[in-house]
Structure 1
Amino acid sequence: MIDLSLIGIGTGNPDHLTRQAIRALNAADLILIPHKGDGKADLADLRRSIVAEVVTNPATRIVTFDLPVRDAATADYRRRVEDWHDAIAALWASEIAAHLGATGRVALLVWGDPSLYDSTLRIAARLRPAPQVTVVPGITSIQALTAAHAIPLNEINGPVMITTGRRLRDDGFPPGTDTCVVMLDGECSFQSLPPDGLEIWWAGFAGMPEQITERGPLAEAGPRILERRAAARAEHGWIMDIYLLRRTAQA
């Protein structure tokens, strides 16, 4: 049987690795590192640098593979994602068979934590025969965001909604809460909200050496975020960012 470890690595800073993560990486016979194209080569490089820093087992093999591109032609978003996951699972199976065979220990490095807005577990569930899956939890970008701004995630006795840019654009600020965290937002969807009565705490490359932050009333901080985000993306070729929105007492 294949033992598959899905290892949360935080936001790319090697200091985010837990001892459990380091042990799991060194126990692996094979570490798979996805390459998402030239525009995101830094993501593969970050994974490789983490592996180079903490893996001391000379028997561990590190293999990089090209990640399939999600089809943009189909209007059905869920169908596109499902097909993409099928293609990734098939590629994992092929790489594991080619480099390891039917038995052994495989590790994949997952940004943040495998349980939060990440599809690695769903992809792993497609593998046949089913592997023995172990999840090593990691620091999430939400934790890195609140740490960067030194703020609590929630108000006293208050709920928090974690959502996506797509949902924010489609549904507006989530009802029933004064705090929402927005992930997976490549379009700065806070622009779709009436800014009055909202504050924002934003971070790009949260927890990494390149980290940049902005905060303040949405009407004032929003334009600054757009400018800094565009500049950072032009400089690095990619950006991972996250933000927290909170209604003020006057809202």
Structure 2
Amino acid sequence: MTTVSPDTGVGGLLRGWRERRRLSQLDLALRADSSARHISFIETGRSRPSEEMILRLAEQLDIPVRERNALLVVAGYAPRYAQTPLDAPAMASVRDGLERLLAGYEPYPALVVDGTYTVVAANRGIALLMEGVCEELLTPPLNAMRITLHPAGLAPRILNLAEWRADLLAQMERQIALVRSPELRTLYEEVAAYPVADQASGGSRAAERTPSFALPLVIEHEGQVLSFIASIATFNTPMDVTVAELAIETFLPADHATAAYLRERLA
């Protein structure tokens, strides 16, 4: 029987994912149609799991696709999921679909980012909000976190910056806990260190006009206070690392004044 180190082998990695999901070995075994004894043997390195078992456990633990490849490689198997560049011919249907979706959402803002918040597509609503942003931040590749939180970006115009910044940083922290991405951690450390200026009370007053079920983004544009509720969508059951890490963020007007302003400006 092949033995794998419990510290550096696939068993230790799977145990880490199981503990993050707050599941017992028995819980995972029941979900994966296995036994707690077999799960224990895998995690301690006493048993080498098959490729099928790794993928079955990864599915039950909701492990990101990129990390599933890493588990397979550590266990001595070939990666299962491709990572196709978004500009590759094979991704034409994905690109076309995203462009149609973003255009259809106009005049409201919407954009698509990858796993490190690099903007891969955006519509005219986003372009409108970015008017006045420092040219350096708008030099490709654009990064949504930098543009939003940098003092020369949108930050000075976000009237509830403290709350919105805290929410974005918490979102990044949750993502860092899920994926081993040095690039994402470096980005987090950068944007978390940006200075934060004192904000006026306009954001609180504007937020009072919005529904209480979600934190609004309250931002000023040419003297007009705009309020949005953001939502994020991802692809269902992706089979490619690139597609798995794409996120579509849309901004729904939180009041009639915001909707009317966007319709007028982008008529």
Which structure has the larger Rg? 2
After TM superposition, the score normalised by the length of structure 1 is: 0.31
Compare the two structures and name the one with the higher strand fraction: 1
Q: Which has the higher helix share?
A: 2
Structure 2 length-normalised TM: 0.30
Instruction: Say which structure, 1 or 2, has more relative contact order (CA 8 Å, 6+ apart).
Output: 1
